[in-house]
Amino acid sequence: MIITIDGPAAAGKGTLSSALAERYHLAYFDTGMLYRAVGLEMVLSGQNPEDENLAEKAAKELTFSKMMQLSQHPDFRSQVGGTAASKVSALPKVRRALLKMQQDFSLNPVFADGTPANGVVYDGRDTGTVVCPHADIKFFVVASPEVRAKRRFAEFTAKGIDTTFEQVLADLTARDKRDSERSTAPLKPAPDAVLLDTSKMTIQEEIDFAVKIIDKYLEA
């Protein structure tokens, strides 16, 4: 089974994806990690994340193990990493270079320890539209910018990252604009995606909503 969960940053995709992956014994592929890895690599090597040819080279050389290594860096999940990821993800050559890696994963999905999984939950921006248009079930998760900024700010504060709510909101708004206005694979729901607005939902309500839809699909 392939499930895709797309939507803007901090809408609740990650929590939902991990919960569904665990419940249905599916591998979880956080596709944003690929763009974060390429963006961070550019920043760490002093390169401009908007230089398309250099970013394409970094994307072509990316491996899963290199991505996992970069994910340990403190800036991988910081605003610096998020902004760099958003910039490289707007470059068509980078998206093309990372597409096969994402699509191939569903042919032989495995957990982090290498054991086979029943399928995959993709978490990203274009996984239901470009990466896996043939997915069994697609969700498009949204929440208001204020709610998302509040969640992200709480995450940063818990990790001891020094920032303000206003800064987080401004950063998310800029990323939303870049993600939805880019020419290649802009952020938008697949026509057959189920829309899920989590602004007023608890995590449990969000999971219950998705589980109901998936169980119905599995029973059919």
Binding site for ligand DC (CB under 6 A): 9, 31-32, 35-36, 82, 85-86, 89, 124-127, 175, 179
CA dihedral 10, 132, 36, 53 (to 10 degrees): -140
Least distance (Å) between residue 31 CB and ligand DC? 4
Comparing CB distances to ligand DC, the nearer of 29 and 214 is 29
Min dist CB 83 to ligand DC, Å, is 8
Q: Which two tokens stand for residue 166?
A: 């206003």
Contacting residues for 33 by C-beta, under 8 A, at least 6 apart: 67, 71
User: Rounded to the nearest whole angstrom, what is the least distance from the CB of residue 55 to ligand DC in the complex?
Assistant: 12
54 or 88: whose CB is closer to ligand DC? 88
Shortest Å, Cβ 209 to ligand DC: 20
Beta carbon nearer to ligand DC, 86 or 106: 86
The distance of closest approach from Cβ of residue 190 to ligand DC in the complex, given in angstroms and rounded to an integer, is 12
Q: Of 75, 95, 84, whose CA–CA distance to 49 is shortest?
A: 84
- 138 in helix, strand or coil? strand
Q: Toward ligand DC, which CB reaches closer, 9 or 207?
A: 9
Listed in sequence order, the residues at least 6 apart from 202 whose beta carbon sits closer than 8 Å to its beta carbon are none
Looking at the Cβ atoms of 36 and 151, the one nearer to ligand DC is: 36
- CA 199 → CA 12, 158, 202, distances in Å? 9, 21, 9
